[in-house]
Amino acid sequence: MIEYFIGVDGGGTGTRVRLAGADGVELAQGQGGPSGLAHGIGNAWQHVGDAVAQAFAQAGIAHPPLAALAIGLGLAGVHNKLWAAQFAAADPGFAALRLETDGYTTLMGAHGGAPGTIVAIGTGSVGQALLPDGQQREVGGWGFPAGDEASGGWIGLRAINHIEQVIDGRKPASPFAQAVIDACGGGRDAIQLWLGQATQTSYAQLAPLVVAHAATDAAARAMLVDAAGEVTSIAHALDPSGTLPLALCGGLGAPLRAYLPAQLLARSVAPRGDAASGALRMIALHVQAASNPPSPAAKARP
């Protein structure tokens, strides 16, 4: 019997978990390391497990057997069907499991399952829409470095390119450039080592420096203006009519609002919930549907 529901939001920077009882009442939250599938299947499960354990500890509940838990996961990297299949195959024994992209669970959380659009901008980025007829639409989410426009990784990559040109003398030095140089080791040789080890998460960790200097540095501001243009393009492709509510989600959603056009901001709404709450809703509906399958007569209806 399922005693608890778990909703998981896993990306390239960290994992966030929401724990609820069988009655759907939320009990606690937990956090862990990155569980985006690009970091490895074993690492993803380890960090999910850590976050789940933290949630039970926060609730003051002894960790029950996995066979008493139903888990819904919205993870970065699920677009890669091989990774997704490997992750699902490594299920350590949950009573029920549903795996979707982090964009889908963000959409579920932001609009409570109602029609709407989201542009999620964190370590990576993706746009998702739930249309009034029930169809879904996805834009972006191709992954770093080829896609994920406007994301922390995308912005950080541009910050690195900027300091390379500053070190070469192709662009002028500035406090912003020096802050990025210092964050990457402080000099050319150290930056070369940094580049050889850098992941999408590493690049995304530079994005806060861009945000912090945008008010005083033209190069930093231009990066955020370009990112806002990408957000606008994603939002338009999701909903060309501009009639559905739009939620800007993820850690960079709020900082980029200052650079978005007024027309887009006019239809933006605050998310009702986050991706972890969307994953919690997703697994609850999944279990409910499995417990109440449609009758043969209902299946036969056109």
Residue 221 confidence (pLDDT) above 80: yes
Q: Which residue has the higher pLDDT, 294 or 265?
A: 265
The answer, yes or no, to whether residue 198 has pLDDT greater than 50, is: yes
* Residue ranges of the chain that CATH labels 3.30.420.40: 4-112+273-300, 116-270
The pLDDT assigned to 293 comes to 62
Mean pLDDT to the nearest integer, 133-153: 90
The predicted structure's pLDDT at residue 141: 85
Residue 168: closest CA among 176, 179, 177, 156: 177
- pLDDT-derived band at 296 (thresholds 50, 70, 90) equals very low
Reported CATH class of domain 116-270: alpha beta
Reported pTM = 0.77
Average predicted confidence (pLDDT) for the chain: 91
Q: What is the pLDDT at residue 39? A: 85
Determine the pLDDT at residue 302: 36
Residue 71 identity (one-letter amino acid) = I
Mean pLDDT across the stretch 177-187?
Answer: 95
Q: pLDDT category, 40, cuts 50, 70, 90?
A: very high
Superfamily designation of domain 4-112+273-300: ATPase, nucleotide binding domain (3.30.420.40)
